[in-house]
Amino acid sequence: MSGDSAYAAAPFDHAKADIILRSSDNIDFRVFKLFLSLASLSFEKLFEIPQPTEASNVQGIKDGLAVIRVQENSKTLDTLLRFCYPCTLADDPKLEVLKDLVDVLAAARKYSLTTIERKVYQALSNPKILEAEPLRCFAIARRGRAHEETILAAKYTLTQPLIPSWFQEISLISATDLLALLTYHQKCGDAVYALRSDVLWIQSHYGSSEGCPWLPRRSKSPSETKGPRVKGLYVTSVGDDNSSCRCATSTTPTYKLFKSQPPKWWEDFMMETFVALRDKPCRATVESFVAKTVQSVRKQGCPTCSVNISEHMRDFSEVMTRKVEEVVSRVALTLMLL
């Protein structure tokens, strides 16, 4: 009997296979019972069914082979079988979409494929999956007691707001686990936000005001400044370029470096970025505000700052990101033992 079914692609179309597994979407996989039986006792018991009966999963005969219908769709079954087959016949599949991973994990549990379960959990370390669904990855890894993957997923949740929206796998974790994750997130945000109070980490990297290309060579008092003035602000020359910088500087800067007065746009960047980092203490937050600042400075049209703003802020972005990640790495996620 063939019905509307079609054969799967290689290596599951082998002429010498001794049984057929039919997926829920009617794709027939010609497989070797020995490979699957060695991988799982559940498969071994499944293959012990002697002949087609109304009470069994055996659907009949196709091309001389017994056909067993399974609940998994062809995509999930293909992935699961590739994990079961020897590497000389099929490479381990790549799991790059969380839904696929969840489906394969459910199938691995169903057929008692413990080794494959571990491999699937390891796939949760894939940055592509973590970046797209960090909270779901956390819940799945935590439920599976995959400690390293749980810790890694927790770090990726820092790209999300402190108070998360509902997510599909939230029922997999306890209220205690969720509270631990939110506490970790808050501690990371507070630790990063504390960096605003001491700019020594910036000064130690650049060494001097000459090392900070966005800083004026020296602060000029209003009496020294020639040309147009703005209330509470005045004009300076910046970096290695002796041309006049049109960017305003505050007379009472919050982030004063090397006794120099940074441009107001840099002050604004620092203040806005630290507020955002408290909610999302991660690289993406820094990069987002760097991009915003570059656009803003270029729009102002300063002949000095706008020319090299992208290069200068890209450099500072790396410095700030490294510091944020260093601080976050010192914060521990405390979870109860399962």
Encode pLDDT of 84-105 as tens digits.
Answer: 999 888 888 888 889 899 899 9
* Crossing angle (nearest 10°) for helices 175-193 and 264-279: 160
Q: Give the residue-averaged pLDDT of 26-55.
A: 83
pLDDT band at 210 (very low <50, low <70, confident <90, very high): confident
| CA–CA gap between residue 297 and residue 72 (Å, rounded) | 55
**Of 54, 51, 19, 15, the residue nearest 33 (C-alpha):** 19
What helix, strand, coil percent values describe the chain, rounded to 5?
50, 10, 35
Task: Determine which of 81-85, 122-126, 199-203, 240-244 has the lowest per-residue pLDDT on average.
Answer: 240-244
The pairing of strands 65-69 and 19-22 is parallel
Confidence (pLDDT) at 262:
82
